[in-house]
Amino acid sequence: MSQHLDSEAEFFLQQGLQLSRAGAFEDALLSLDRVLHLHPDRHDVWHTRGVTLSELGHYEDAVASFNQAIDLEPHAPEALNSRGIALYNLRSYEEAIASYDKAIKLRPNFHQAWHNRGNALDKSGCYEEALKSYDKTLEFEPDYSKSWYNRGIILYKLGRYQAATDSYDQAIKYRPHYSHAWYNRANTLNQIGHHREALSSYDRVLTIKPEWYGAWYNRGNVLHKLGRHEEAIYSYNKALAINATLYEAWYNRGNAFDALGRYDEAIESYRKALDLKPNLREAWYNWGSALYKSGCYREAIASYDRALKLNPGFAKAWFSRGSALRKLGLYAEAIASYDKAVQFQPEMSEAWYCRGIALGHLGQNEAAIESYDRAISINPDFHPAWYSRGSALGHLGDYQSAVASYDKALEIKPNFPDAQSRRTLALDHNQSLQASAHTNSNEGRIAAERTDEASSCSDRALNTEEPVRSSPPLHT
């Protein structure tokens, strides 16, 4: 009878193993339970049962099975390692580490347990300790590409980008078609500004996995940084053909069109991004900037208002709103917007400068000079502010001070024809006043010339917001 039971148990064990290999885990579990009903002391079957439960995602039951295996055979490192994996999946990282430690104590060269210990330490935020665990893995198994790869992730988190790249290179050396290693290598190179090398790595990813929309998206971001906007749009289009709900790609596609001066297409892309994510303030802002550049100032203001509704402290949007109002001749409203900009970002020299321009249009030259002075105190080399300060001083009849301001503008930018011509006019007026004073002329002072603003409020401050950095996460 005993022999019959052993044969029966062996039959169910083999059946369970075959079903497990075929992915029929529920049926495999039934067969393994039959074995344990006949032989409840088989620690190896308890272990196999735990692995099967883990495959089904039943991690708590898996831990219970591994515990049965360990109780029957406390010196089985495989069961301790498997229990650690189940505990890891339950996010019980400290318990997982303790289980891996016991496995390693029994088998110090157990490279999988060292690797898994590194993963748990990573999740616990113990990056340096995780790195040491991966290094131990590689000491025993130098070609273990997973540890090289995860080691790269840890180094990236520690800000050691070159070392991370070297680690990904090792992973790729032992596994040339390791798409995730190529992808993270590209992300790391992009992080340190090696955009062309990053582009090559994204290209390698896409030869292995052409449908990886995240790689197409990040490839587009790199091309955009390199100024290759048409190619960037092609990459964003590829990403969107695979995943049309990727709002970041619609948004950055809009930025690429904007950089090409194709504002209608930029606006359409921003619209698509906002359909998917209505609270994306950068898209509302950049939509406004595209409208501004198209001469649609009222529509631009409406977009800036939407951005400001999402973030009332968005200084750049207040500034750009002020510039649109100034274009419409609404100078008092423009000044109010510039005031909000400098309230939230007091060191924004462009806002102080443009505030001065708007004040000048209202004839408030003393206040305009104060604004120019604030701009210059923040950025002493801001030549348009020196120039406009000279114009305001000229309006006040202080030609000598105006000449000094024009001199500063020309010192910073010698090839500045407007400043040269205004300086000459101011000198002439000053000399005329001096001559008049010498001869006690009763004909009165020469009226200060009303000069137009030399350079309009700096549109360069209306640049689009930086691309949304929403790269798919690093894979562990």
How far is the C-alpha of 227 from the C-alpha of 74, rounded, in Å?
A: 62
Helical pair 281-293 and 247-259, crossing angle rounded to 10 deg: 20
Lowest mean pLDDT among 116-125, 293-302, 463-472: 463-472
Q: pLDDT band for position 7 (50/70/90)? A: confident
How far is the C-alpha of 330 from the C-alpha of 416, rounded, in Å?
A: 29
Domain residue limits at 455: 335-465
Q: pLDDT band for position 438 (50/70/90)? A: low
Q: What is the pLDDT of residue 437?
A: 61
∠ CA 408-411-416, rounded to 5°: 95
Q: pLDDT band for position 459 (50/70/90)? A: very low
Q: How many CA atoms lie within 13 A of 127 on its CB side?
A: 10
How far is the C-alpha of 76 from the C-alpha of 106, rounded, in Å?
A: 8
Residue 379 in any domain: the answer is: yes
Q: What is the pLDDT of residue 475?
A: 46
Read off the pLDDT of residues 303-323 as tens digits, 9 standing for 90 and up.
999 999 999 999 999 999 999
pTM of the predicted model as reported, rounded to 2 decimal places: 0.84
Residue 78 in any domain: the answer is: no
Q: pLDDT band for position 428 (50/70/90)? A: confident
Residue 182 in any domain: the answer is: no
- Of 156, 99, 145, the closest CA to residue 122 belongs to 156
State yes or no: pLDDT of 106 exceeds 60. yes
Read off the pLDDT of residues 168-216 as tens digits, 9 standing for 90 and up.
999 999 999 999 999 999 999 999 999 999 999 999 999 999 999 999 9
Helices (H) and strands (E) in the chain, counts: 25, 0
State yes or no: pLDDT of 87 exceeds 90. yes
How far is the C-alpha of 242 from the C-alpha of 213, rounded, in Å?
A: 6
Read off the pLDDT of residues 331-347 as tens digits, 9 standing for 90 and up.
999 999 999 999 999 99
Helix (H, G, I), strand (E, B) or coil at 131: helix
Q: What is the pLDDT of residue 9?
A: 86
Residue 424 in any domain: the answer is: yes
Q: What is the pLDDT of residue 434?
A: 73
- What does the CA dihedral 377, 378, 384, 385 come to, rounded to 10 degrees? -40
What does the radius of gyration of the chain's CA atoms come to, in whole angstroms?
35
CB 226: neighbour CB atoms within 10 A? 14
| Side chain identity at residue 4, one-letter code | H
Residue 412 in any domain: the answer is: yes
CB 114 within 8 A of CB 137: yes
How far is the C-alpha of 167 from the C-alpha of 152, rounded, in Å?
A: 5
∠ CA 294-298-302, rounded to 5°: 105
Q: What is the pLDDT of residue 324?
A: 98
To the nearest whole number, what is the mean pLDDT of the chain?
91
Residue 457 in any domain: the answer is: yes
Q: What is the pLDDT of residue 333?
A: 98
- Give the burial string for 188-199 (b: 16+ CB within 10 Å, else e): bbbbeebbebbb
Q: What is the mean pLDDT of residues 441-453?
A: 35
Number of independent structural domains in the chain: 1
∠ CA 454-460-464, rounded to 5°: 155
Instruction: Name the percent of the chain lying above pLDDT 70.
Output: 90
Residue 30 burial by Cβ neighbours in a 10 Å radius (0-12, 13-18, 19+): middle
Per residue, what are the HEC states of 299-368? HHHHHHHHHHHHCCCCHHHHHHHHHHHHHCCCHHHHHHHHHHHHHHCCCCHHHHHHHHHHHHHCCCHHHH
Read off the pLDDT of residues 24-33 as tens digits, 9 standing for 90 and up.
999 999 999 9
CB 76 within 8 A of CB 47: yes
Q: What is the mean pLDDT of residues 105-113?
A: 97
Q: What is the pLDDT of residue 429?
A: 83
Identify the CATH number of the domain in which residue 393 sits: 1.25.40.10
Q: What is the pLDDT of residue 461?
A: 37
Residue 386 in any domain: the answer is: yes
Instruction: Name the percent of the chain lying above pLDDT 90.
Output: 87
Residue 427 in any domain: the answer is: yes
